[in-house]
């Protein structure tokens, strides 16, 4: 019995460390994204420079999304009263299915935003 408890405790500690590592990486990427936004907003860039900044911004935004996807399993159940139900539902979806669902949702939101902004 105590062996199982020790294994669970070790796994929880491992998960907490991984969550902290991923959260730290996410923070670094978000700072880079913010810096790129400032460059676009405040610098006088020519077309080539704008293209390079936009490409770097896209790379960082995609990395940020991947990090958020990796963090989600660690923080999805914090403070939720229906932990068991949420865990069962979450385990039924593969990581790829969860990612695909979100990507589809974000693509739809992006298309709607593009229509609002550009007509």
The domain limits of the chain are: 1-75, 81-119
Per-residue pLDDT of the chain (119 residues; tens, 9 = 90+): 567 777 777 777 787 788 889 999 999 999 999 999 999 999 999 999 999 999 999 999 999 999 998 888 776 655 554 555 555 565 566 666 767 777 888 888 888 877 887 77
Comparing CA positions, the residue from 22, 6, 27 lying closest to residue 75 is: 22
**Angle at CA of residue 56, ends 45 and 74, nearest 5°:** 140
Give residue for tokens 């932990």: 83
Give residue for tokens 């939720």: 80
Are 42 and 75 in contact by the 8 Å Cβ rule? The answer is: no
Alpha-carbon Rg for the chain, nearest whole angstrom, is 19
């Amino acid at each position: 019995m105590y062996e199982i408890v020790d294994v669970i405790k070790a796994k929880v500690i491992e998960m907490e460390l991984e969550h902290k590592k991923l959260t730290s990486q996410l923070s670094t990427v978000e700072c880079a994204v913010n810096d790129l936004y400032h460059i676009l907003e405040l610098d006088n860039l020519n077309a080539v420079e704008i293209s390079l900044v936009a490409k770097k911004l896209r790379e960082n935004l995609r990395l940020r999304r991947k990090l958020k996807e990796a963090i989600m399993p660690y923080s999805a159940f914090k403070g939720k009263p229906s932990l068991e139900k949420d865990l069962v539902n979450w385990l039924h979806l593969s990581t790829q299915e969860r990612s695909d669902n979100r990507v589809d949702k974000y693509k739809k939101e992006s298309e709607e935003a593009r229509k609002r902004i550009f007509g």
